[in-house]
Amino acid sequence: MFFAKKMVLKYGNIMNSQVSNRMDKQAKIYVAGHRGLVGSAIVRALEKEGYTNLLTVTRQAVDLLEQRAVADFFASEKPDYVFLAAAKVGGILANSTAPADFIYENLMIETNIIHNAWRNKVQKLLFLGSSCIYPQMAEQPIKEESLLTGPLEPTNDAYAIAKIAGIKLCQAYNQQYDTKYISVMPTNLYGPNDNFNLQTSHVLPALIRKFHEAKVSQAPFVTIWGTGTPVREFLYVDDLADACVYLMNHYEDSKIINIGTGVGITIQELATTIKEVTGYQGDICFDPSKPDGTPVKINDVTYINSLGWTAKTNLHIGIQATYEWFCQNYKNGVLV
């Protein structure tokens, strides 16, 4: 395991960022992207906390890429709070082969929702960013202040630029219109409802599927992109959802907030763990001709810890829960 060095950061008066007004249990709460990995976890977290007036809508009913559709939806429904979890996401392969789709779709989604939240007097909005917004060679662990201090990772810069634009949009509305839009930067996520498509998924769900299928077919080895040396941090998505609900009730500052565990693991160690969880008996092979991406990426979580929140789910336990969900929903080569 690679453990992030604990660092003491000095912020202003943290209490200035905290709020006493919490979401009313009957408030109308719109979760954009409720079918996805993050959105579905936020819905679970809200329901667990007793929120009863959740607003969800499918893409077939309201296409978030369409300005008029989003404007009509907000004008009709008038949500009190918004969790903006809708996004086009994917791994290295997807980002590298479809950068135009990633920048266009994410810009449109966040612009349409944030602008119409303002037009319809939404009380507070939480925007889901990503740790990929930080420079490729940012000092580790990555502090919030590292934003825009260096070049981005080339394999996902289109997605990162779209997310940076979303952050700046929230901050601009806060500055100009005195809104309360907050932005959070989660580390690599995994859990139920993840994307297990080998062409578009992130590394952890892709490895779960690879090892599962290799076990079923009794393949002699599993090949993994890269050298296995990059260090990544992984956060169970229900922990992220818990943090988002916590921050919606306790935070209203424009300063972005990292969310994660503060603990890193190499891809080789991750693969070994997933091999153990899935029960695969073959070998692991790495393909160094394929890209590694950023060498090390771990969020500095000092700030959110200082606000009273910490991650709870152990990585091994989280992978076990994710694999159980995968097995329950994966039939004949497809998720059902």
Question: Is 81 annotated in the active site?
Answer: no
The closest alpha carbon to 147, from 138, 156, 155, belongs to 138
Longest dimension (CA), the chain: 60
Q: Is 260 annotated as a binding residue?
A: no
Positive or negative: CA dihedral 188, 190, 194, 195 = positive
Structure tokens at 236: 């169970």
pLDDT at 301: 98
Per-residue pLDDT reduced to its tens digit, 15-54:
345 565 799 999 999 999 999 999 999 999 999 999 999 9
Q: Say if residue 169 carries a ligand binding annotation.
A: no
Rounded to whole angstroms, what are the CA distances from 203 to 22, 59, 94, 133, 198? 36, 26, 12, 18, 9
Q: Does domain 2-329 have CATH number 3.40.50.720?
A: yes
| Measured CA angle at 100 (ends 98, 103), to 5 deg | 110
Residues 63-122: tens digit of each pLDDT: 999 999 999 999 999 999 999 999 998 877 888 899 999 999 999 999 999 999 999 999
Residue pair 41/85 in contact (Cβ under 8 Å)? The answer is no
d(CA 221, CA 199): 19
The β-bridge relationship of strands 263-266 and 231-232 is antiparallel
Rounded to the nearest angstrom, the gap between the alpha carbon of residue 305 and the centroid of all alpha carbons in its chain is: 18
- How many residues does the structure list for the chain? 336
> Is 225 labelled a binding residue?
yes
**pLDDT confidence of residue 317:** 98
Domain boundaries, the chain: 2-329
Which one is catalytic: 51, 81, 159, 236?
159
**Reduced 3-state DSSP string for 155-209:** HHHHHHHHHHHHHHHHHHHHHHHCCCEEEEEECEEECCCCCCCCCCCCHHHHHHH
